[in-house]
């Protein structure tokens, strides 16, 4: 298995980030196969046909996306660590993609073909300027298919970061990394396991590790920028979980009101008032009023994490909402 090795300095500098490029890459993967994520199904239905029409009109785009979606080696030039933290923009990320040399890209794609579970002949790799053509494809997919859905997605991603930042503040990195994907775990004193695939350990530089959530329910990949910058891209919590959650019981609606009932159930995962407002489609003032009542009733508590106040249910709130197990079980 591959381990990411972090010194104490690297660990102290590790942080979370967002990546529109990674979100676009994950979205292309979702659109290439039948959708099994209820949270993304309406979006998938709206965009599937138009996305495939784009690929049908451009053999380069079709070949590249099919290869990316059928290999255990993600080409490095399309999977670099984001440089702007939580404010990373697609334009900044695509500069590096467009600047990649054709010989570097060819080596990347040959490696991807060698690790693919399908046959690829690269006959679509014609002409030159492949980095710029790849950047154009990502820009088009982002603009047409991802950007309109970005406010909803960003709210979910920020909520995942808030949740893990709270775990980090309270328990440290081993707990914050728990359940990032099926295989991720803290190993020993300085290692993160993210894959069962064989390979040499990766030594993270003193600039630290980036952890990047995306709105897909499966799939994890490592983004690398030589010599020692790494980002672990992982599925955000709360997509399929939220869609599949049963509606709050009507008895609870009658007892405390439908708005407070929905908010209490939404706090199965800790969240800020802004994140709750975005997910529930309510105003910040309405959510704040509901939180005040629930807090006075000892149903929820708020904890300051940096500049944010993160709310979670108390044991009494868990019992009222009908949960008897731990969210992390």
CATH classification of the domain holding 270: 1.10.10.10
Residue 274 has pLDDT above 90, yes or no: no
Q: Rounded distance, CA 55 to CA 229, Å?
A: 32
| ∠ CA 289-295-296, rounded to 5° | 95
Residue 211 shares a structural domain with residue 280: no
Task: Enumerate the β-bridge partners of residue 3.
Answer: 193
3-state secondary structure of 159: helix
Q: What integer best gives the mean pLDDT of the chain?
A: 87
Last residue in a domain, options 186, 217, 235: 235
**Residue 32 predicted with pLDDT over 50:** yes
> What whole-number percentage of the chain has pLDDT above 70?
94
**Is 195 inside a domain boundary?**
yes
pLDDT at 198 (0 to 100): 76
Contacts of 247 (CB under 8 A, 6+ apart): none
Query: What's the rounded Cα separation, in Å, for the pair 233 and 202?
Result: 15
Buried b (16+ CB within 10 A) or exposed e, 217-250: bebbbbbbbeeebbbbbbbbbbbbebeeeeebee
Whether 169 and 113 share a structural domain: no
Strand ranges in the chain using DSSP code E only, listed in sequence order: 2-5, 15-16, 185-187, 191-195, 202-203, 209-214, 221-225, 229-235, 300-305, 308-313
Q: Whole-angstrom Cα distance, residue 121 to residue 119?
A: 7
Q: Which among 157, 36, 29 is positioned nearest to 87, based on CA atoms?
A: 157
Overall pTM > 0.85: no
Average pLDDT over residues 132-149: 97
pLDDT at 325: 46
Q: Does residue 290 sit in the same domain as residue 225?
A: no
Q: In this structure, is residue 308 part of a structural domain? A: yes
Whether residue 328 is contained in a domain is answered as: no
Task: For 168-192, write each residue's pLDDT tens digit.
Answer: 877 888 888 877 877 778 888 888 8
Tell me, yes or no, whether 63 and 105 share the same domain: yes
Across 289-305, average pLDDT? 88
pLDDT tens digits along 36-93: 788 899 999 999 999 999 999 999 999 999 999 999 999 999 999 999 999 999 999 9
Do 32 and 141 fall within a single domain? yes
At 258, give phi and psi (nearest 5°).
Answer: -65, -35
In order of 43, 158, 176, 283, the CA distances from 153 in angstroms are 11, 9, 21, 18
Residues 38 and 80 in one domain: yes
Examine the domain organization and report whether 285 and 173 are in the same domain.
no
Which has the higher per-residue pLDDT, 163 or 66?
66
DSSP 236: P
Q: Classify 156 as helix, strand or coil.
A: helix
Q: Of the spans 60-64, 68-72, 156-160, 197-201, which averages the highest pLDDT? A: 60-64
Structural domain boundaries, residue 213: 2-16+164-235
The pLDDT of residue 143:
98
**256 and 292 share one domain:** yes
205/226 Cα distance (integer angstroms): 10
The model's pLDDT over 214-227, given as tens digits with 9 standing for 90+, comes to 998 777 899 999 88
Same domain flag for 37 and 129: yes
State residue 323's pLDDT score: 58
Residues 6+ apart with CB under 8 A from 9: 206, 208
Distance between alpha carbon 227 and the CA centroid of its chain, in Å?
24
> How many structural domains is the chain composed of?
3
Q: What is the largest CA-CA distance in the chain?
A: 67
Band the pLDDT of 248: cuts 50, 70, 90: very low
Looking at the fold, whether 143 and 44 belong to one and the same domain comes out as yes
Inside any domain, residue 137: yes
- Coil, helix or strand at residue 320: helix
């Amino acid at each position: 298995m591959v381990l990411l090795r972090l010194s104490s300095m690297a660990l102290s500098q590790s942080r979370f980030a967002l990546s529109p490029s990674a979100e676009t890459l994950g979205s292309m993967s979702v659109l290439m196969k039948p959708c099994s994520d209820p949270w993304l199904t309406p979006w998938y239905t709206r965009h599937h046909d138009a996305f495939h029409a784009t690929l049908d009109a451009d053999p380069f785009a079709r070949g590249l996306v099919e290869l990316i979606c059928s290999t255990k080696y993600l080409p490095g030039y399309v999977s670099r660590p984001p440089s702007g933290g939580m404010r990373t923009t697609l334009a900044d990320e695509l500069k590096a993609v467009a600047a990649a040399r054709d010989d570097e890209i060819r080596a990347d794609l040959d490696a991807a073909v060698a690790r693919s579970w399908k046959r690829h002949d690269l006959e679509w790799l014609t002409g030159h300027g492949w980095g710029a053509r790849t950047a154009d494809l990502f820009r088009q997919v982002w603009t047409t298919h991802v950007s309109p859905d970005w406010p909803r997605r960003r709210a979910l991603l920020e909520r995942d970061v808030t949740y893990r930042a709270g775990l980090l503040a309270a328990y440290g990195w081993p707990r914050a990394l728990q359940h990032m994907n099926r295989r991720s775990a803290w190993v020993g004193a300085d290692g993160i396991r993210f894959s069962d695939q064989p390979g040499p350990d990766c030594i993270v530089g003193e600039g630290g590790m980036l952890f990047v959530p995306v709105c897909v329910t499966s799939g994890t990949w490592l983004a690398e920028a030589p010599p020692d910058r790494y980002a672990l891209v992982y599925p955000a919590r709360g997509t399929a979980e939220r869609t599949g959650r049963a509606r709050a019981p009507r008895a609870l609606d009658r007892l405390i009101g439908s708005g407070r009932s929905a908010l209490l159930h939404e706090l199965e995962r800790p969240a800020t008032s802004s994140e709750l407002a975005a997910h529930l489609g309510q105003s910040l003032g309405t959510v704040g009023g509901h939180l005040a009542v629930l807090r006075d009733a000892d149903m929820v508590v708020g904890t300051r994490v940096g500049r944010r106040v993160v709310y979670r249910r108390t044991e009494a709130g868990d019992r009222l909402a009908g949960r008897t197990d731990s969210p992390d079980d």
